[in-house]
Amino acid sequence: MTIALTIFDLLIACALIGVVLLQSGKSAGLSGSIAGGAESFFGGKKKGLDEFLGKMTKILAAAFMIISLLLAILQ
């Protein structure tokens, strides 16, 4: 049981790392606010992928925490 949960936990961890790396970076500072304003004014990026990746990050993080807690309790 613990071996299966450990393997599943590792798969979720790898998926979580991949989803976080696929997300676009948030620009900071004055140049980021100017670029962000220009993107929102002219249409800019698609929001669909960023929203999907954000939801997947939350789901994978919650699953990772729950499985990690289960592994800690079982060992």
Token pair recorded at residue 22: 């696929």
Q: What is the pLDDT of residues 5-14, one digit of tens each?
A: 999 999 999 9
* pTM of the predicted protein model: 0.71
Sign of CA dihedral 6, 22, 55, 58: positive
Instruction: Give pLDDT, residue 21.
Output: 94
Is 32's pLDDT higher than 90?
Answer: no
Overall residue count recorded for the chain in this entry: 75
Alpha-carbon span 50 to 10, nearest angstrom = 24
Domains in the chain: how many in total? Answer: 1
Domain containing residue 61 = 2-74
Instruction: Give pLDDT, residue 70.
Output: 95
